[in-house]
Amino acid sequence: MSEDYFNYPTSLYLPVKPDHLRKIADPQGRVESFFALVPVEKVPDISVEDTNPREQNIKSGVAKKIRESLVQHDGNFHLLNRGITLSVANAAYDNKTERLRLDLDVRGVHGNVDGGHTQRVIRETVGSKEWELNRQSIIESGQEIFPQYVRYEILTGLSPDLLVKLAETRNTSVQVKDFSLDNLAGKFKWIKEQLSEYEGVIAYKENEKKPVNVRDVIALFTLFNIGLYPNTGSQHPIQAYSSKVRPLELFDSKQETYRALSPILTDILSLYDYVRATMRDIYNDNGGKFLKWESIDQKSVMNFHFDKALLQADHKIADGMVYPLLGAFRFLVREKDGVCVWKVDDVRKFYERFGERLIRTALEGVRTKGNNPTAAGKDGALWDQLYNQVKLAYFELREIDEEKSVSV
């Protein structure tokens, strides 16, 4: 799918009958909500890439069910599908033209927050051969054809941090059912044994009440998987962030590459905590003002489950900023005797020494995406920039053969 749906800023128009539109005021007076029913034939192609944290898999079970419901021509689609959620700068309805104007001003802030699958399926199905054949079949059977509508929720005035929370919260249904954890139960056995110290922390089954889902653990391991993303190549594990399903699929089909990470698995998890916990101090120690950056959420707290020495933080750093930075440390992993080891003798000290430049790059990367970490987390240029910075930092240290560990 093209990255550029349209140029920002722009205005789009949805045809909506007066009886199919409702406006609800926010009790706090910050966000306006519009609910509208729009004919599926009039659904516009609104940007998904920068505002929706998940990739749209058109071949998934979820997409298939959306398509099956859509081509029924029974008028029930808006009741059976949860619809599309948009973030916009402003929205205004014209009673004369019966059109709802949507102003999208900032890439990464305004666009499709939830319902990317629904939007894409509608765009690719309506008017297609399948659409027309089903329609004709229904008519020939003597049944009545009813127009299909899709439900829109349109939110104005979302701040970047609230947008991230909204997108992450809304985008949960696909990840649970596309690839059930229970299907991988047997393949998690060696992971559970390797990470036995986190038995009370990691949930390995659906609906298990533990603070960390094994999906996120596998995603973190994917960041360092040089079997899948070798340091001799140019590909980065962006899907570790952008897709909840893809890391599990890779874990299922490429078990040997994850087993090779065994010697550093606990290091990876504790490094994830340590990087987030010390980011503010490392940045501020070099004269910065970390909490002044708009992308840092000061209304939430951040918990650390893999390093018991770390206390809860009074701010939260989005994974969209953390994953590209942490993924850059993949360059510090090498293969030795069939397993993965670090190229440096202390990866934490490496981060302490060179972290400020990496943190600044990550913060700038988020800022250029409208202070939206979701967009930054899927930005290949940011991943590449951070990776190259780790690479350069490593060679600043290296005075001996690359196959030996380097002292920091």
Q: What is the mean pLDDT of each run of 10 residues along the chain (408 residues)?
A: 62 96 90 96 82 65 90 95 94 97 88 89 95 94 95 91 73 49 73 95 83 94 98 94 89 95 98 98 93 91 96 95 98 97 96 97 94 91 98 84 58
Q: State the pLDDT at residue 154.
A: 97
Give buried/exposed letters for 361-385 (b at 16+ CB in 10 A, else e).
Answer: bbbebbbbbbbbbbbbbbbeebbeb
CB atoms within 10 A of CB 312: 9
- Using an 8 Å Cβ cutoff, are 291 and 258 in contact? no
- Using an 8 Å Cβ cutoff, are 360 and 304 in contact? no
Residue 3 lies in a domain: no
Q: State the pLDDT at residue 2.
A: 39
Query: Final residue of a domain: which of 128, 147, 174?
Result: 174
Q: How far is residue 17's CA from residue 92's CA, in Å, rounded to a whole number?
A: 13
Which amino acid belongs to residue 138? Answer: I
How is residue 366 written in tokens? 């988020």
DSSP character for 189? Answer: H
Alpha-carbon dihedral 286, 350, 311, 215, rounded to 10 degrees: 120
Residue 402 lies in a domain: no
How is residue 166 written in tokens? 């909204």
Q: State the pLDDT at residue 134.
A: 92
Single out the residue of 153, 39, 16 nearest to residue 93, CA to CA: 16
Q: State the pLDDT at residue 178.
A: 40
- Using an 8 Å Cβ cutoff, are 245 and 56 in contact? no
- Using an 8 Å Cβ cutoff, are 168 and 144 in contact? no
Q: State the pLDDT at residue 185.
A: 66
Single out the residue of 351, 334, 330, 352 nearest to residue 343, CA to CA: 334
Q: State the pLDDT at residue 55.
A: 60
Query: Final residue of a domain: which of 155, 174, 193?
Result: 174
Q: State the pLDDT at residue 59.
A: 74
Q: How many CA atoms lie within 13 A of 338 on its CB side?
A: 2
Residue 40 lies in a domain: yes
Query: Final residue of a domain: which of 174, 193, 208?
Result: 174
SS3 percent helix, strand, coil of the chain, rounded to 5, is 45, 15, 40
Single out the residue of 116, 113, 199 nearest to residue 164, CA to CA: 113
Strands, E assignment, 66-118? 84-88, 90-94, 99-104, 111-114
Pair (125, 208) in one structural domain = no
Pair (162, 272) in one structural domain = no
How is residue 26 written in tokens? 């926010």
Which amino acid belongs to residue 369? Answer: K
Pair (257, 363) in one structural domain = yes
- Using an 8 Å Cβ cutoff, are 362 and 276 in contact? no
Residue 2 lies in a domain: no
* Distance linking the first and last C-alpha atoms of the chain: 43
Domain that holds residue 371: 179-397
Pair (128, 197) in one structural domain = no
- Using an 8 Å Cβ cutoff, are 49 and 119 in contact? no
Pair (25, 78) in one structural domain = yes
Q: State the pLDDT at residue 62.
A: 80
Provide the domain count of the chain: 2
Residue 405 lies in a domain: no
How is residue 280 written in tokens? 């503010």
Q: What angle do CA 315, 316, 320 make, to 5 degrees?
A: 155
Q: How far is residue 377's CA from residue 324's CA, in Å, rounded to a whole number?
A: 6
Pair (206, 323) in one structural domain = yes
The β-bridge partners of 155 are 33, 87
